[in-house]
Amino acid sequence: MRIAIIGGGIAGLAAAFELEKARGTGTEVEYALFEARERLGGSLASETVDGAMLERGPDSFLTEKPAAAELCRELGLGDELIPSNDIARKTYVVVHNRLVALPDGLMFLVPTKLLPTALTPLFSLSTKARMAMELLHPPSNNRHVDESVAALVERHYGAEAVDRLADPLLSGIYGGDAAQLSARTVLPRLVEMENKYGSLTRGMLAAHRQMRARASGTAAGSGRRAPRALFTALRGGMQQLVDAITAQLDPAGVHVSTPVSAIEKDSDGWRVEAGGFIGIYDALIVASPAWAAGVLLRPVDPALAEELGAIPYSSSITVNLIYDEKELGALPEGFGFLVPPSEGRSMLACTFVHRKFLGRTPPGKAVFRAFLGGMKNEALLSETDAALVAIVRRELREILGEKIMGRAGEPEHTQVSRWQQAMAQYAVGHKQRIERINARVAALPGLRLVGNAYDGIGVPDCIRLGRQAARELAALPAKVPSAPQMR
Ligand SMILES: Cc1cc2nc3c(=O)[nH]c(=O)nc-3n(C[C@H](O)[C@H](O)[C@H](O)COP(=O)(O)OP(=O)(O)OC[C@H]3O[C@@H](n4cnc5c(N)ncnc54)[C@H](O)[C@@H]3O)c2cc1C
């Protein structure tokens, strides 16, 4: 069985790793991974500067999704996994240039604690009253109709909750727009809760009670409590994962700076044109962004290409700034802040990196990681690095104030990374689109589509999909004779 993998981001790398494992256990499988850029890893890229670990793309993964940590352990990186510093976890939202802490008890946009919600300056009195009344929300029977996250949140908690919670959280995490993202895909648990309980707050409280009962059962059974950090990272950055996978792969099967320029399907299998050669393969894992997959698959199935091309993507920029802490005033405790689009700023979010993961920044240094761009501000991508750094410095000064930033001179180091059309957006109707895509893919034997456009945007989901596709294909009977046919 010969398999081509198009795209060497984490999804394609995870697929290649799985195929390499299959080879190691005697499965007759060969693979060729084609990556357009000169380096592997896609959005995963980190760099250590003067002892400070700077992430250009993702900085961590959600601990509750096990696929990434599992892969790290398989690769011998178990001891390199570090938890987020959750004791200090506190996130702020910028409201009229002031940092307002997200109230305690907020779970997936749902307020669950009465007192902190009543006391927070984040919401007006009328929104607080609406949050209390939400407990009486009747169950919904539109379980088959999709709507935007903004529409769902507004129906339950009002427009201010969209502006101060849903918008900043979704743009700060997905570079997304709450008015476009699908509630059924992005927040499926909330949609289920609405169907069952009516009130999201009552639904979340019930889920929390069940979770606590399960946890205390497990704790009683095992005799220990196991609090888990929300995020897990690698001490040496995401690049460690990319390097560890690459070290396992057969170098003869990995082709960087080799964009795939055409795909055809005929009775021999899949013809893949890359770097001036055509190879014939029994199966194909397309791990490029969906828009690139659409372009390549147009000659094979125009309707599939149309669906892939219609999945929206957002672009983003990360700007890392290293400062000497002596030049800064006392930062508020916590991991950083989110900026609602209504504040009219370029920054969508900023992480206090030295607070979120301990031991990755030298003592006495502070690292700010600003996140810019998103669906509403693509134009920023064409700004120069110097202009982007200037924007971030100005906005940090305006948001954190003179007390903190007033004495800060030039940062000791700046790093700007642009991620063009890198983050898929699960827009309203995404689930149905994926069902249509899956139906078309099922009619094309040997084809698998993996990556962040389909069933989860985060690193663990991309790893899960990549490995699953590879396992399925490695189990199929081979058709093409094992020697590659190039012409
Ligand atoms: C700034 C940023 C921060 C993020 N933060 C987090 C986070 O903290 N936690 C988290 O879990 N997730 C995060 N994400 C999301 C996560 O990083 C991505 O969803 C994930 O890495 C996508 O992996 P992928 O393999 O699907 O795609 P990509 O990483 O985009 O890789 C696709 C690859 O395909 C290649 N390619 C395209 N066309 C061709 C072609 N024709 N031929 C050959 N190769 C081709 C591209 O060059 C690219 O390398 C973040 C993303 C970004 C951009």
Per-residue pLDDT tens over the stretch 309-336: 999 999 999 999 999 999 999 999 999 9
Q: Where are the alpha helices (DSSP H) in 239-301?
A: 239-248, 290-297
- What is the model's pLDDT at position 107? 85
Helix (H, G, I), strand (E, B) or coil at 274: strand
φ, ψ (nearest 5 deg) of residue 102: -65, 135
Q: Which amino acid is at 233?
A: A
For residue 102, give both structure tokens.
């997200």
**Which residues make beta-bridge pairs with 368?**
321, 352
Q: How far apart are the first and last CA of the chain?
A: 19
- 């969508």: which residue's tokens? 348
The tens digit of pLDDT for each residue in 152-173 reads 999 999 999 999 999 999 988 7
Report yes or no: 254 and 245 within 8 Å, Cβ to Cβ: no
Task: Give mean pLDDT, residues 437-441.
Answer: 98
CA-to-CA dists, residue 471 to 367, 448, 449, 462, 483, angstroms: 40, 11, 13, 14, 21
- What is the model's pLDDT at position 485? 44
Helix (H, G, I), strand (E, B) or coil at 36: coil
Model confidence, pTM: 0.94
Query: DSSP E strands: which ranges in 325-397?
Result: 336-338, 347-352, 365-373
Q: Which amino acid is at 250?
A: D
Helix (H, G, I), strand (E, B) or coil at 411: coil
The chain-wide mean pLDDT, for the chain, equals 92
- In angstroms, the CA 246 to CA 14 distance is 10
- 């909330």: which residue's tokens? 190
**Which residues make beta-bridge pairs with 313?**
424
Q: Is the pLDDT of residue 483 over 70?
A: no
Task: Give mean pLDDT, residues 4-28.
Answer: 96
Helix (H, G, I), strand (E, B) or coil at 68: helix
Please choose from 31, 38, 43, 318 the residue to mutate so as to test ligand 1's pocket, defined by most ligand atoms within 8 A of CB.
43
Q: Whose CA is nearest to atom 50 of ligand 1?
A: 58
Q: Whose CA is nearest to atom 6 of ligand 1?
A: 58
Helices and strands: H and E segment counts in the chain: 18, 22
pLDDT band per the 50, 70, 90 thresholds, residue 133: very high
Residue ranges around ligand 1 (CB below 6 Å) = 6-12, 34-37, 42-44, 57-61, 259-260, 287-289, 292, 316, 318, 419, 422-423, 451-452, 457-459, 462
Rounded to 5 degrees, what angle do the CA atoms 432, 434, 438 make? Answer: 120
Percent of the chain with pLDDT over 70: 95
Please choose from 288, 295, 351, 360 the residue to mutate so as to test ligand 1's pocket, defined by most ligand atoms within 8 A of CB.
288
- What is the model's pLDDT at position 486? 43
Tell me how far the alpha carbon of residue 292 lies from the centroid of ligand 1, in angstroms. 12
**How do beta strands 269-274 and 52-55 pair?**
unpaired
Task: Give mean pLDDT, residues 1-6.
Answer: 96
HSE at residue 461, side-chain half, CA atoms within 13 A, is: 12
- What is the model's pLDDT at position 214? 74
Q: Which atom of ligand 1 is nearest to the CA of 13?
A: 25
Q: DSSP secondary structure string, 327-358?
A: GS-PPPSSSEEE--GGG--SEEEEEEHHHHST
The tens digit of pLDDT for each residue in 73-131 reads 999 999 999 999 888 789 999 999 999 999 988 887 898 888 999 999 999 999 999 99
- In angstroms, the CA 107 to CA 204 distance is 8
Task: Give mean pLDDT, residues 370-378.
Answer: 88
CA-to-CA dists, residue 381 to 37, 113, 421, angstroms: 19, 40, 11
**How do beta strands 254-255 and 260-266 pair?**
unpaired
